[in-house]
Amino acid sequence: MDNGEEAPPPPLFPPPIQAVPPRPMPVREDCWSEEATHTLVEAWGNRYLQLNRGNLRRKQWQEVADAVNAIHGHTKKTRRTDIQCKNRIDTIKKKFKIEKARDVESRGAYVSPWRFFSRLDSLIGDSVKKISPPRLLPHRTTPPSAPSPSPALALISPVPVGPRSSKPKRPAVVDESFFRRTFSAAAAAAAVVDDDDEADEQGSETSRSRSSGSGSRRREREADGCGQLAEAIRRFGEIYERVEVMKQEQLIELEKHRMQFAKDLEYQRMKLLMDIQLQLAKIKRAKPSDDADSYL
């Protein structure tokens, strides 16, 4: 320094940087308030129930937009179109599905704080697919039971087999009544089978006879129908032939009358011409005589 004073030493730590306050987020023009959303849900829900829970058409969406604009559309920015109303309802449906899934997973322990949950649950709650919790297998406390014997081993013999021993086995005493009962049961079963076969054969023969009888009757009916059709065609041909002959005769008669009329007309014309010529000839003869009389 020129004045002899020493400069202060630089600070060891830099001064703290002042935090810049965040700018407020710009408000979207299509942002929906809770009151406008409530009006939208009520207007859409009423028409949704009127259509028996069916989809709204363009006309119904325009009515919903008019209902929202009638209450909240005081300015140009707050007025909604039918497309904006439809997009807002789709967004609300997606949020409802998320809240509904949470409610189902918690088995009723979760209470949604969303204002429109109860209203949408009454409207589309049944159409949302419920999420079922995974099924857990019950814990087995008892030891597994012994495997059941195979059918082949169970059909070998009903006589229980005892443990093996070194003593010689005695021949088993066979009860003859068991064989008699078995044989009689088998014979009765065979007789029943034979009776069933005979009944089936009789039934098949009866059905064949019925089918043959019905087939013969059907053929007779078809033959009768063909005969009636041929007779009708023959009669129609005869009538048509008579009609054609009568037409030809009438044409011939008409031609005769026409020729006679032409002949009569020509005769009258010739007669008229001849009369005119006679009258002219008489006039010419009478004229010279008149001239002679005048000279006298």
pLDDT value for 144:
46
Q: How many angstroms separate the Cα of 18 from the Cα of each of 81, 109, 116?
A: 45, 47, 43
Q: Is residue 13 part of a domain?
A: no
pLDDT value for 63:
94
Report the alpha-carbon distance of residue 4 to residue 225 in Å, rounded: 145
The count of residues in the chain is: 296
pTM: 0.37
Q: Is residue 195 part of a domain?
A: no
User: Number of folded domains in the chain?
Assistant: 1
Residue 63 in contact with residue 34, Cβ under 8 Å?
no
Report the alpha-carbon distance of residue 228 to residue 37 in Å, rounded: 81
Q: How many angstroms separate the Cα of 203 from the Cα of each of 143, 149, 215, 217?
A: 57, 43, 18, 21
Report the alpha-carbon distance of residue 167 to residue 41 in Å, rounded: 93
Comparing CA positions, the residue from 30, 66, 46 lying closest to residue 119 is: 46
70's tokens: 């009638």
pLDDT value for 258:
92
pLDDT value for 73:
82
Q: Is residue 136 part of a domain?
A: no
Q: Is residue 39 part of a domain?
A: yes
Per-position DSSP letters for the chain, written without gaps between them: -TTSPPPPPPPSSPPPPPPPPPPPPPPPTTPPPHHHHHHHHHHHHHHHHHTTS----HHHHHHHHHHHHHHH-SSTTT---HHHHHHHHHHHHHHHHHHHHHHHHTTT------TTHHHHHHHHTTTSPP-PPPPPPPPP-SPPPPPPPPHHHHTT-SSPPPPP-SSPPPPPPPPHHHHHHHHHHHHHHHHHHHHHHHHHHHHHHHHHHHHHHHHHHHHHHHHHHHHHHHHHHHHHHHHHHHHHHHHHHHHHHHHHHHHHHHHHHHHHHHHHHHHHHHHHHHHHHHHHHHHHHHH-
| Measured CA angle at 110 (ends 109, 114), to 5 deg | 150
Q: Is residue 46 part of a domain?
A: yes
- pLDDT (tens digit per residue) in 180-218: 666 566 666 666 556 666 666 666 666 666 666 677 788
Q: Is residue 87 part of a domain?
A: yes
Q: pLDDT 10s per residue in the chain (296 long)?
A: 455 566 666 666 566 666 555 554 544 545 888 999 999 999 999 999 998 988 899 999 999 999 999 998 888 888 899 999 999 999 999 999 999 999 888 887 888 899 899 998 888 887 765 444 444 444 444 444 544 544 444 444 444 444 554 554 554 544 555 556 665 666 666 665 566 666 666 666 666 666 666 777 888 888 888 888 898 999 999 999 999 999 999 999 999 999 999 999 999 999 999 999 999 998 988 876 666 555 55
Range of the domain at 99: 34-124
pLDDT value for 21:
56
- pLDDT (tens digit per residue) in 212-254: 667 778 888 888 888 888 989 999 999 999 999 999 999 999 9
Q: Is residue 85 part of a domain?
A: yes
Report the alpha-carbon distance of residue 89 to residue 83 in Å, rounded: 10
Q: Is residue 47 part of a domain?
A: yes
- pLDDT (tens digit per residue) in 10-20: 666 566 666 55
C-alpha 100: how far from its chain's center?
32
